[in-house]
Structure 1
Amino acid sequence: MSVYEETLNSLTTLGLSHIRDNIDQLLPGINGKEVSYLDFLHNIMNSELTARDKRARERRLSSAEFPYMRTPDDYDYAFNNSVTKRQINQLLDLAWIESAYNIIFLGPSGVGKTHLAVTLGIHAVEQGYKVTFVTMDKLIKLLKTEEISVRARQRLRKIMNSDLVIIDEIGFQPISRQESNLFFQVISNLYEQRSVIITSNKGFEEWAELLQDPVITTAILDRLTHHSEIFNMTGDSYRLKNRDTILKE
């Protein structure tokens, strides 16, 4: 076996897959310069670490299950001034995740609640946090099938172990009293342990009717709002204003 083949095998054994797969590109590029052995080692190890960081980010993004990709600059702050760019920029420092604070976006459909939630979630992933995005409807289905579905249990375990949980679209589907109790258990377990982003088309005054239990509603809201930033978003639907049409004037 040649030195080259032995080196590839050693890199495989050590788990240095990026260096192994790119050794032909790394060696000529570095050997063409007069660098010390230490600089050479430093450069190829940095290459491996950069590749690992990229793979880890891609895994976190895939695991989060965002419905789409968004950046802070994608949001039209001029269209809806219920939330300012300055406020979102402050949230992008992510200090609130370290303190297990919650972010709550309330308002009618189309004003950008989910857009901003996803924006913050993706930024958190890029900074190394574990994030899970789930709609309320999906969450309830997972909770109701937890006892009979291994996949549901695994998904719920991942939700509970996330640094940030985004629960989207509370209020779009009716919820039974039993389901409200299951939801309370989730919020209670996350309380002061994990950060939560909530989006809802219902104001808090409507939640008691939505959850069909005033006592449970109070308990849920107490935990969600104890450490939180609440945005009451108003305005027209961005999607309706910018809709595509097949009819031409």
Structure 2
Amino acid sequence: MNTVETIQKQCQLLRLGAVAYQVEALADQAAGEGISYLQFAQRLLESEIDQRRERDLERRKKAAHLPARHRLEQFDTTGQENLPPARLQQLKELSWLDQQFNIILMGPPGTGKTLLAAGLCHQAIGQGYRAYFRTMQELVDILKARELSARAKTDYRRLCKAQLIVIDDLMMTPQSSTEANLFFHFINQLHEQTSFVITTNKSPKQWVEVLGDEVLTTALLDRLLYRCEVIQHAGQSYRMKHRKSIFETLS
């Protein structure tokens, strides 16, 4: 076994995967540049740190459950009077997250609410925040199953430690009394330590119709709207505007 193979084996034992993979190339580069031993050691460690950061980012993105379209570069502010480019830039800077503000994105289906919410979640993950994306139905299912399912229990614990939770399609469908209470207690538990980004096609006044309890709805709104920016989306549905036809495909 030569020196390179020995070092690679030692790196594997120490779980230094990036160093094991790059040690020979970095050694050749260092020899060509004539750098010091300390500079060479620094490059080795930097390669390991960079790879671990990349792996950690991928793990957190996977745990977030982001939808396919989740990059803010894809969001079009054209026609969004309440969200010009300057305001979008402010949202991207995430100062509102540090101040534990909530954001409610309200408007008709297809106007970019989910893309914007997912994009902010993706932005937060990239900045090192613990951020997750769930539909309201997924969240309710987790809350109902957390005492019965190990997976749901793990997901619930993860959400309870979040700095940002995106709840997509809030109040889309009516909730049972049990579901409404579970949802309220979840928000009540986290509202002073976690920021929420919420997408909904219903105004807060209509939420009582979904939850079926005016007192609970009022208490929920009190917690979510205390420190909150409500952004009204407008315009034609992106999906309807760019809809496909089988006849176009076949022609």
Q: CA deviation at 1:244?
A: 1.7
Instruction: Please state whether the residue corresponding to 2:93 is helix, strand or coil.
Output: coil
Superposed CA offset, 1:104-161 (max 9, x none): 1011111111010011011111111111111111111111222211211111111111
Distance of 2:152 and 2:62 partners within structure 1: 17
Distance of 1:81 and 1:115 partners within structure 2: 17
Tell me which residue corresponds to 1:101: 101
Tell me which residue corresponds to 2:212: 212
Tell me which residue corresponds to 1:62: 62
Distance of 1:110 and 1:19 partners within structure 2: 46
Superposition CA RMSD, Å:
1.6
Distance of 1:232 and 1:57 partners within structure 2: 31
Q: CA deviation at 1:8?
A: 2.2
Equivalent position amino acid for 2:212 in 1: Q
Instruction: Please state whether the residue corresponding to 1:170 is helix, strand or coil.
Output: coil
Listed as ranges, the gaps of 5+ residues in structure 1 are: none
Superposed CA offset, 1:52-91 (max 9, x none): 1111111111110111143222112114333222111101
Where do residues 8-87 of structure 1 align in structure 2 (5 Å cutoff)? Answer: 8-87=8-87
User: Residue 92 of structure 1 contacts residue 123 of structure 1 at CA under 8 Å; is this kept in 2?
Assistant: yes
Listed as ranges, the gaps of 5+ residues in structure 2 are: none
- Range 3-12 or range 93-102, more displaced: 3-12
Tell me which residue corresponds to 2:243: 243
Tell me which residue corresponds to 1:129: 129
Distance of 1:75 and 1:124 partners within structure 2: 16
Equivalent position amino acid for 2:91 in 1: L
Tell me which residue corresponds to 1:174: 174
Tell me which residue corresponds to 2:150: 150
User: Residue 101 of structure 1 contacts residue 192 of structure 1 at CA under 8 Å; is this kept in 2?
Assistant: no
Distance of 1:98 and 1:13 partners within structure 2: 40
Distance of 1:49 and 1:57 partners within structure 2: 12
Equivalent position amino acid for 2:224 in 1: L
Q: CA deviation at 1:37?
A: 1.3
- Range 204-213 or range 76-85, more displaced: 76-85
Instruction: Please state whether the residue corresponding to 1:134 is helix, strand or coil.
Output: strand
Equivalent position amino acid for 2:154 in 1: Q
Tell me which residue corresponds to 1:161: 161
Distance of 1:71 and 1:145 partners within structure 2: 31
Distance of 2:94 and 2:115 partners within structure 1: 17
Tell me which residue corresponds to 2:193: 193
Equivalent position amino acid for 1:84 in 2: P
User: Residue 69 of structure 1 contacts residue 122 of structure 1 at CA under 8 Å; is this kept in 2?
Assistant: no
Instruction: Please state whether the residue corresponding to 2:198 is helix, strand or coil.
Output: strand
Q: CA deviation at 1:9?
A: 3.2
Distance of 2:6 and 2:182 partners within structure 1: 56
Distance of 1:80 and 1:95 partners within structure 2: 22
Instruction: Please state whether the residue corresponding to 2:172 is helix, strand or coil.
Output: coil
Superposed CA offset, 1:147-186 (max 9, x none): 2112111111111111111111012221112211100011
User: Residue 142 of structure 1 contacts residue 156 of structure 1 at CA under 8 Å; is this kept in 2?
Assistant: yes
Equivalent position amino acid for 2:219 in 1: A
Q: TM-score, normalised by structure 2?
A: 0.93
Matched-pair identity in %: 36
User: Residue 111 of structure 1 contacts residue 237 of structure 1 at CA under 8 Å; is this kept in 2?
Assistant: yes
Q: How many residues of Structure 1 are paired with residues of Structure 2 in the alignment?
A: 249
User: Residue 171 of structure 2 contacts residue 200 of structure 2 at CA under 8 Å; is this kept in 1?
Assistant: yes
User: Residue 109 of structure 1 contacts residue 237 of structure 1 at CA under 8 Å; is this kept in 2?
Assistant: yes
